[in-house]
Amino acid sequence: MALDNAHYDEKLASVYDQMYPIEFDTAQAVEFIASLAPANGRVLEVGVGTGRIAVPLAERGFQVHGIDGSEAMLAKLKERDEQGLVTTQQGDFTEVGTGLTFDVVTLVLNTFFVAVTKEQQLGCLRLVREQLAPGGRFVLEAFDPAPYHCLEKPELSMRHLDEGAIMLDTLAVDRSQQLMLGTHTIIDGGRPETRQHVLRYAFPFEIDLLAELAGLRLVDRWEDWTKQPYTARSLRHVSVYEHASETA
């Protein structure tokens, strides 16, 4: 089953960066990832999206590749990447790799959860392992699903996109399958347009188990990109893995 769920169309791609206005977080993420790669090293971003992380890394001199399932998102990346520094590839990152190896592989901002079955998530991690160079590091950022796992009824929220547009979000959870159904309605003066997407959330230690099955081993886990300690109260995690075969 392909990742059709992850294929942002032109409408969502046009507002994606407004959906996640986290420039402060971007700078911290770039610093974190850069610290794991050698000078001029090779970096792969899985689910590269509009290039929020990839382009700043490439501007620092890293050789950056990105894979994404959405043609519209990759088009936005190319608009941001005016110098053409990032090498991109369109494809399902649970089934398709680059055929290359990298010093650092990244999967940020909950993108791992767009793989909506355990098998897809395991396939993604196996491809990560195959593309990770000896001594390399895999960095995964995701939210901790505990607060959402307890959701009893759909939750409604609103995002401000710009002066003329808002997005209404509805979130529903199926705990039996660990699925989250998000419905996004964009109101921008024209005909309201609604899009849906599904996430298959996984708890941090569940991800660790899948990683072990894929041949990866957890090295570090932090609450955020500034390396705050991960605790029972943490709402997200930044986890770093290596080849399991490199364990002493």
Record: fold of 147-199:
N-terminal domain of TfIIb (2.20.25)
What are the angstrom distances between the C-alpha of 19 and each of 66, 159, 162, 185, 212?
21, 7, 10, 12, 33
The Cα 103–Cα 36 span in angstroms is: 8
Domains 4-143+202-246 and 147-199 share a fold: no
Q: What is the pTM of this model?
A: 0.88
- pLDDT 10s per residue in the chain (248 long)? 444 544 555 555 565 555 555 566 899 999 999 999 999 999 999 999 999 999 999 999 999 999 998 888 899 999 999 999 999 999 999 999 999 999 999 999 889 999 999 999 999 999 999 999 999 999 999 999 999 898 888 888 888 888 888 888 899 999 999 999 988 888 888 888 788 888 999 999 999 999 999 999 999 999 999 999 999 999 999 999 999 987 54
Helices 10-19, 71-80: axis angle to 10 degrees equals 50
The Cα 244–Cα 196 span in angstroms is: 37
The Cα 111–Cα 147 span in angstroms is: 18
Q: Which CATH superfamily is domain 4-143+202-246 in?
A: Vaccinia Virus protein VP39 (3.40.50.150)
The Cα 76–Cα 2 span in angstroms is: 22
Number of neighbours of residue 167 by Cβ within 10 angstroms = 19
Q: Which helix (H) or strand (E) holds 124?
A: helix 118-131
Q: Where are the domains of the chain?
A: 4-143+202-246, 147-199
